[in-house]
Chains A and B, each alone.
Chain A
């Protein structure tokens, strides 16, 4: 197994208030890490650091994607409280935009197949239906469809089941399992044990005042 992420002595503070300190871990291909901890212990902030969205930390975060120099080409991030979708555009147009940005396939047939896979098959027929009119769960499904199309190896998932119904939750669990089986990796924050209960995974616990396990 190849090590694709190596974090050493990672510490982060909001001003004078330390959030976590000296966190070290590594992630190999085909492995899953579950980030746990009480509310406010820095799990989502850790995700932002890994995604490159926040600076001001001490320690090192190293990616090792052998076939690509830019780690962002190989990394996907799913925030907990948002889906990063353009509300004025349709599901197809949203997917096209994000695929284009990675320089990936934007074949309509492929996009429709993935939309159908996530139960959004009726929506592409109404090409102009803006995402703004989608329910919370439908937006999340579209966000997952984008993840499926991304061809990335490392997934940073912050409460990925947010807004999903039971069927979609089960489907996502299988989807995540298939990603790990195929050599992909993921760091997941979830308060729902069902997501990772059947998957081999490591746990990184962030405790209060920098306590970690």
Chain B
């Protein structure tokens, strides 16, 4: 059986897993919604320049914490009932497993991010079309991909750790800082200007590099960490 076929089989299974327990998908989105509502009711009216910055801050912070909820649970089912050990006894490559898991996590993260963007825009009366600009979308793909890769990698590394619930956020928060800073800077610039600017280009390139590095680490180290003890 080819790796590609196995990848699709695993990915199909992971999606089925997520949709069979809808609360796994809904809870991060509800979490983001609550954070956004808190922002809306606590932050006073600001001028347009500040408003854009506040929108970006709300999107990044809400999505980030909602994602953390979702990512820390991404290997939850596999860690029960020796499910993952059984997968390793089957003729599968751990890298294929990690890639399939990462694809599912990327989808979940995108759903959370997009929901957050829509809700934030509605709550702040911001035109949704500004999010369709190429630099904005590119930056969002990079930041979602980077966070999904980092989350998958850390979930894999901490799968066998006894202090998993503590270890995951301890590693995730500081390591994701570059992606969040890059995303904030690039989004503020890209949402303010309809065209590419040198500033946004620089931040987007940085986010892209961060994404590539984390994706590579997730595939290589994530697979390695799931091999036999």
Q: Out of B17, B89, B229, which one reaches A77, CB within 8 Å? A: B89
Does any Cβ of B come within 8 Å of A88's Cβ? yes
Closest to A139 in B: B81
Closest to B1 in A: A103
Determine whether the beta carbon of A101 is less than 8 Å from that of B77.
Answer: no
Q: A86-B17, A86-B77, A103-B5 are in contact. Are A55 and B90 (CB under 8 A)?
A: no
Closest to A102 in B: B90
Closest to A55 in B: B228
Does any Cβ of B come within 8 Å of A72's Cβ? yes
Minimal beta-carbon separation of B22 from chain A (angstroms):
10
Does any Cβ of A come within 8 Å of B125's Cβ? no
Within 8 A of B (CB), among A42-90: 51-56, 70, 72-73, 75-77, 79, 81-89
Secondary structure type dominating chain A contacts: loop
Does any Cβ of B come within 8 Å of A100's Cβ? yes
Does any Cβ of B come within 8 Å of A98's Cβ? yes
State A54–B227 Cα separation when bound (angstroms): 9
Determine whether the beta carbon of A52 is less than 8 Å from that of B9.
Answer: no
Minimal beta-carbon separation of B10 from chain A (angstroms):
8
Determine whether the beta carbon of B1 is less than 8 Å from that of A102.
Answer: yes
Determine whether the beta carbon of A84 is less than 8 Å from that of B83.
Answer: yes
Determine whether the beta carbon of A89 is less than 8 Å from that of B228.
Answer: no
Closest to B21 in A: A88
Determine whether the beta carbon of B81 is less than 8 Å from that of A85.
Answer: yes
Q: A86-B77, A87-B80 are in contact. Are A101 and B92 (CB under 8 A)?
A: yes
Closest to B13 in A: A97
Q: Out of B81, B90, B228, which one reaches A82, CB within 8 Å? A: B81
Closest to B6 in A: A101
Q: A54-B228, A88-B77 are in contact. Are A75 and B89 (CB under 8 A)?
A: yes
Residues from chain B with a CB closer than 8 A to the CB of A86 are 13, 17, 77, 83
Does any Cβ of B come within 8 Å of A210's Cβ? no
Contact code string B11-48 (vs A, CB < 8 Å = 1, else 0): 00100110011000000000000000000000000000
Minimal beta-carbon separation of A63 from chain B (angstroms):
12
Minimal beta-carbon separation of B13 from chain A (angstroms):
5
Does any Cβ of A come within 8 Å of B133's Cβ? no
Within 8 A of A (CB), among B67-118: 77, 80-83, 85-92
Minimal beta-carbon separation of A101 from chain B (angstroms):
5
State A81–B89 Cα separation when bound (angstroms): 16
Does any Cβ of B come within 8 Å of A163's Cβ? no
Q: Out of A53, A81, A85, which one reaches B88, CB within 8 Å? A: A53
Q: A89-B20, A101-B6 are in contact. Are A73 and B91 (CB under 8 A)?
A: yes
Residues from chain B with a CB closer than 8 A to the CB of A88 are 17, 20-21, 77
Determine whether the beta carbon of B85 is less than 8 Å from that of A53.
Answer: yes
State A205–B95 Cα separation when bound (angstroms): 37
Q: A100-B9, A130-B20 are in contact. Are A84 and B88 (CB under 8 A)?
A: no
State A73–B10 Cα separation when bound (angstroms): 17
Minimal beta-carbon separation of A86 from chain B (angstroms):
6
Determine whether the beta carbon of A82 is less than 8 Å from that of B82.
Answer: yes
Minimal beta-carbon separation of A180 from chain B (angstroms):
21
State A53–B88 Cα separation when bound (angstroms): 7
Closest to A76 in B: B89
What are 18 A-B pairs with beta-carbon distances under 8 A? A52-B228, A54-B228, A56-B229, A72-B90, A73-B91, A76-B89, A79-B82, A84-B82, A85-B81, A86-B13, A86-B17, A86-B77, A88-B20, A93-B16, A100-B13, A101-B1, A101-B87, A102-B90
The 6 closest A-B pairs by CB, nearest first: A103-B1, A84-B86, A82-B82, A88-B20, A100-B9, A72-B91
